[in-house]
Amino acid sequence: MIDRSKIWTGSLNEKALDPQPRGTIGLYDTTLRDGEQSVGVVLSPEDKLEIAKALDVAGIDRIEAGFPRVSADDWRAVELVSAAGLRAEVWGFSRAVQADVEALVELGVPASVIESPISDAKLAALGVSREKMLERIHSAVSFASGAGIRVAFFGVDSSRADMDFYRRAYETAVEAGAQEVVVVDTVGIATPEAAAFLVGQTVDWLGGEIPVHWHGHDDFGLGTAAAIAAVQAGATWVQGTINGMGERAGNADLIEVALALEALYGIPTRLDLTQARALSQLVQERAGTPLPSWKAVTGDALFTRESGAVAAQFHDPPAIEPYSSELVGATRGIVLGKKSGIDSVRIAAERLGIDLPEDGRAAVLAEVKQRGAAKRGLVTDDEFTAIAAATE
């Protein structure tokens, strides 16, 4: 459980929200598959194994090891992750294609997503009729289920599908043996309200006994919000990636989702948030995809302050931050530059063990601000030390 003494969000959310579901939400990570679909990203089988182990340590419930028919490397990655003895469940990925499912059976994968396009736009692009796609769904799911694989049916482009056909597709999959279903916002068009509506309809149609996942993309910047709305409507699993990697604008960021669920909504997950930044950094390094410094939860600058007005309150974290840096394994710090203030140079001097008298701080600050503006960046510790020495 999250340490609520380290959350400083006030009482507004509690007053505004209706009673929330309190069941623990499962986190299904697809960094190794959908995350690798980020343009230009290639993760080796060894990279994927290392990331999978880190996901497992951090408390991710399910890890999608990959789509084995994509390449020999993807096949090898599924083998490695499956054999790693992880606590997390290892899942595969397959299209509603016989050969894909046969690959899962050969690898001994115990559970898998089986995807099939269900929007008219996707069907038209593929030249496949609705009835033919229903046949494919039934055939693939029944074959996988008959082979002992736990299937979660994944209706590609759910959020743009005709609602009547959507229902037929999901009911067909469940009748064929799917034990779970995934509601999929493939191109990230669902508002939070639409995500809640579609998940709620799915829960109602399938009787409430079939676990419902949400898989959403972030094309409109609503990935996290839509995932939370889906949970409020009855989804018990959220699919996403570390750092929000994925096709186009990426997927919902599981770290963001977990923190928002726990800190803002009081809905638990099993993610150890103290591992968040280490996990994020590992994925950045292996994928070669650095994050902007202002990225929520895991950005480098999230707990770093340059502004002098904020530095004056740095001694009191709840005054300037919504939650403790300790909660997500981060450290706090002051940096120097154009926007620094008197308290900034005082704190920097104390940190570096520099004796900087109070009556000398203004001159040092003036030089720090000038230096930061001139270089259009931050003043380093070495530069600050030299400035302090020159103004004695």
Q: Does pLDDT of 391 surpass 90?
A: no
How many CB atoms neighbour CB 373 within 10 A?
Answer: 12
How many CB atoms neighbour CB 359 within 10 A?
Answer: 7
Contact present, 2 and 327 (Cβ < 8 Å): yes
Given this model, what pLDDT does residue 21 score? 79
Closest CA to 180 of 231, 136, 114, 133: 114
Given this model, what pLDDT does residue 1 score? 75
For residue 19, name the pLDDT band (cuts at 50, 70, 90). confident
pLDDT single digits (tens) 71-101: 999 999 999 999 999 999 999 999 999 999 9
pLDDT single digits (tens) 187-243: 999 999 999 999 999 999 999 899 999 999 999 999 999 999 999 999 999 999 999
Calpha distance 95→117 (Å, rounded): 9
Contact present, 216 and 252 (Cβ < 8 Å): yes
Q: Which residues make beta-bridge pairs with 212? A: 181
Neighbouring C-alpha atoms within 13 Å toward the C-beta of 322: 12
Query: Quick one: average pLDDT of 300-324?
Result: 94
pLDDT single digits (tens) 281-309: 999 999 999 999 999 999 999 999 999 99
Tokens in use for 249?
């604008």
Query: Quick one: average pLDDT of 360-374?
Result: 96
For residue 22, name the pLDDT band (cuts at 50, 70, 90). confident
In the chain, ranges of CATH 3.20.20.70 domains: 22-287
The superfamily CATH assigns to domain 22-287 is Aldolase class I (3.20.20.70)
pLDDT single digits (tens) 237-264: 999 999 999 999 999 999 999 999 999 9
Neighbouring C-alpha atoms within 13 Å toward the C-beta of 162: 9
By the 10 Å C-beta count (0-12 exposed, 13-18 middle, 19+ buried), 72 is classed as exposed
Given this model, what pLDDT does residue 216 score? 98
Given this model, what pLDDT does residue 185 score? 98
- Is the Cα dihedral 18, 188, 81, 300 positive or negative? negative
pLDDT single digits (tens) 26-46: 999 999 999 999 999 999 999
The residue type of 392 is E
Calpha distance 187→159 (Å, rounded): 8
Q: Does pLDDT of 58 surpass 80?
A: yes
Given this model, what pLDDT does residue 18 score? 75
Tokens in use for 18?
């209706």
Calpha distance 102→32 (Å, rounded): 21
- Mean of all residue pLDDT scores within the chain: 96
Query: Quick one: average pLDDT of 114-127?
Result: 97
Calpha distance 156→52 (Å, rounded): 25
Tokens in use for 250?
């990426």
Given this model, what pLDDT does residue 76 score? 97
CA dihedral 276, 282, 287, 290 (to 10 degrees): 70
Tokens in use for 332?
């706090």
